[in-house]
Amino acid sequence: MSLIITEECINCDVCEPACPNTAIFQGEVIYEIDPAKCTECVGHFAEAQCVSVCPVDCIIKDAGNPESSEDLMEKYRRLVAIDGRDTCDP
């Protein structure tokens, strides 16, 4: 699953720069996550960086967007190919 940011977000600005896929952006009220870019940091890190830096624990799995670990890795590979970066399997 990709991740979502809940209404508890305090707009502290720490999650956006932590995202290696630039999936996090400022929405109308709070930060939001683009599910097409979110891989939960699969392919980059062992854990989701936004979750690890969030001071209010408002970033959760998006139950409306179920994805397996394999799906997330495939999305990572597509995103890396689009960006022109080399892929690396963790």
Q: Is the pLDDT of residue 87 over 80?
A: no
Task: Domain 3-83: give its CATH code.
Answer: 3.30.70.20
Instruction: Let me know: does 48 contact 56? Beta carbons within 8 Å.
Output: no
Query: CA angle at residue 18 from 17 to 21, to 5 degrees?
Result: 90
Q: Spell out the domain ranges in the chain.
A: 3-83
pTM reported for the whole predicted model:
0.86
Q: Is the pLDDT of residue 89 over 50?
A: no
Q: Which two tokens stand for residue 74?
A: 């495939």
User: At 43, is the secondary structure helix, strand, or coil?
Assistant: coil
> pLDDT digit string (tens) for 14-38?
999 999 999 999 999 999 999 999 9
- Give the C-alpha separation, 18 to 46, whole Å: 14
Residue 72: count of CB within 10 angstroms of its CB: 18
